[in-house]
Structure 1
Amino acid sequence: MISVKMLKPYYIKADDQFVRIILAYQYFSVVINKQVFQFIPIEGKEIRINRRTRKVENVGSRFAFQKGKDVIYLTMTELISLPDFMTQLHHIAKPYYGIDYEVDEEFESKLIFEELERLNIKRLIDKALDERDENTFRELVRLL
C-alpha cells in the first residue's frame, strides 16, 4: 500500500502552458508498507501540469525515494493513480492556473476522477492481458 505522507513544492514555476512543481529533499515523502521513504532528486525532479487541461504532462518521469540504503522508484503514472497525491497536487497548482482557467471544484473533481478511471482501465487491460482474457480485454479497450 502506497500513500503520500507529505507533498510540498520546493518552488513553483509557471509559464503560459505549464505549472512546474519543483521537488527537493525533505519536501516529498511517501509511505510504502508502513515505512516512510523520502524523495531524493536523482531522476525526476519536477511535476509538469498543463495549465489548460490541468493534467500531468510528464507521466513517464521516475521518482526515487529512499529509506536508509533502500531506494525505491515510482513512476509518475503510479503516483497519479493515488487519490491523495492528485488531491494535494491540484491544491498546490490551483493558484497558478490563472483567472482564464478558473473552474469550480465540482469540475476539478470530475477531471481527477476521469483521469483516475482511465488509469484504472489501463491497469485492468494489463491484468486481462496477463490472464489472456480476450473478451475482457476487448470490452476494456472500447472504454478508452
Structure 2
Amino acid sequence: MLSIKTFKPYYVKEEGNYIRVVLAFQYFSLLMDDKVYQFVPLESREIRINRETQAIENKDAVFVFQKGKKYNRITLRDLMCVKDFQDHLSKILSPYMILTQPKEKRDEIDYVIMELEKINLLRLIDLALDEKDQIKFNLYTEKLLEIQ
C-alpha cells in the first residue's frame, strides 16, 4: 500500500505558462509497506504543470525514495494514481492556477469598458460646455474622436 506521509514543496515557481513545484528531501515522504521512505533528489526533483491545460507535463519523471540503504524509484505517473498525492498537489497549486476566460467574454468586457469611456468623455464635454471652458472642450472632443 502506497500513501503520502509528507508532501510540501521546497518552493513553487511560476514561469510563463508553467508552474514548477520543486521538491526537497525533508519535505516529501511516502509510506510504503508501513515504512517511511524519504524523497532524495537523485533523478527528478520537480513537477511541471501547464497552466492553460492544467496538466502535468513531466509524467515520466522518476522520483527516488530512500529508507536506510534501500531505494525505490517511482514515476510521477504512478504517484498520480495515489489519491493523497492528487489532493496534496491540488492544494499546493490552487493559488497559482489561473482560470482563463473565454475570448468572447474578454471581448464583451472590452466593449463595456470602451462604452463607459465614451460615456465619461461625453459627460466631461457637457461639463466643459457648462463651465464655458474651450480648452477642456477641445481636449475631450479630440479624445472622443480618437476612440471612435
Please state whether the residue corresponding to 2:25 is helix, strand or coil. Answer: coil
In the TM superposition, residue 28 of structure 1 has moved relative to its aligned partner by: 0.3
Question: What secondary structure sits across from 1:31 in the alignment?
Answer: strand
Q: Residues 33-90 of structure 1, C-alpha deviation per residue, up to 9 Å, x if partnerless?
A: 1100000000010001111121111001000000000010000110001111011101
Q: Secondary structure of the equivalent of 1:74?
A: strand
Tell me: CA distance 1:59–1:99, structure 2 relative to 1, closer, same or farther (3 Å). closer
For residues 72 and 79 of structure 1, the distance between their equivalents in structure 2, rounded to whole angstroms, comes to: 12
SS at the partner of 1:89? helix
What is the Cα deviation at residue 100 of structure 1? 3.6
Question: Larger radius of gyration, structure 1 or 2?
Answer: 2
Partner of 1:72: 72
| Residue matched to 2:81 | 81
Structure 1 CA distance for aligned equivalents of residues 23 and 33 of structure 2 = 23
Q: Spell out the pairing of 1:8-47 with structure 2 (5 A cutoff).
A: 8-47=8-47
Cα distance in 2, alignment partners of residues 8 and 49 from structure 1? 16
Separation (CA, whole Å) in 1 of partners of 2:15 and 2:100 = 13
1:97 deviates by: 1.1
One-letter code of the match for 2:71?
Answer: V
Give 5+ residue unaligned stretches, structure 1: 102-144
Separation in 2, partners of 1:99, 1:82:
25
Matches within 5 A, 1:112-123: none
Specify the code of the residue in structure 2 equivalent to 1:49.
I
Looking at structure 1, the residues matched to 90 and 51 of structure 2 have their Cα atoms a distance apart, in angstroms, of 11
Matched positions, count: 101
Residue type at the aligned position of 1:57: E
Between the aligned partners of 2:56 and 2:21, the Cα distance in structure 1 is 11
CA distance in 2, matches of 1:39, 1:97: 25
User: Following the alignment from structure 1 to structure 2, what is the Cα–Cα distance between the partners of residues 61 and 89?
Assistant: 16
RMSD: 1.2
Q: Residue 97 of structure 1 aligns to a residue in which SS?
A: coil
Match of 1:124 in 2: none
- Structure 1 counterpart of 2:31, which letter? V
Q: 2:90 — aligned with what?
A: 90
